[in-house]
Amino acid sequence: MSTVDDILGEFIDAWKAGERPELDAFLERVPAGDRDDLAAGIAAWLAVAPTPDYPRPARAAIAAEPALRAALRAAEALRPPLPESLPVLRERAGLGVRDVAARLAERFGLADRDRTVAYLEQLERGELDAGRLSHRLVDALSEMLGAVRIALPSPPAPAAPSQAFFRADEEAEDWIVQDIDALSRAALASAPAPMDELDRLFLGGPDA
Judge whether 206 and 135 are in contact, CB under 8 Å: yes
Q: Domain count of the chain?
A: 2
Would you give the DSSP letter of residue 130? Answer: G
Judge whether 121 and 202 are in contact, CB under 8 Å: no
Higher pLDDT, 98 or 35: 98
Is the domain of 108 the same as that of 136?
A: yes
Q: What is the pLDDT of residues 181-196, one digit of tens each?
A: 665 565 555 555 688 8
184 located within any domain: no
Residue 165 has pLDDT above 80, yes or no: no
Query: Which of 35-44, 69-78, 104-113, 181-190 has the largest mean confidence?
Result: 104-113
Is the domain of 98 the same as that of 144?
A: yes
Count of alpha carbons within 13 Å of 77, Cβ hemisphere only?
Answer: 10
Q: What is the pLDDT of residues 72-82, one digit of tens each?
A: 666 555 556 77
Q: Average per-residue pLDDT in the chain?
A: 75
Residue 143 has pLDDT above 80, yes or no: yes
Residue 86 has pLDDT above 70, yes or no: yes
Structural domain of residue 15, as residue ranges?
4-78
- Our CA angle for 87, 92, 97, nearest 5°, is 45
The pTM assigned to this predicted structure is: 0.49
Which of 103, 153, 100 has the alpha carbon at shortest distance from 128? 153
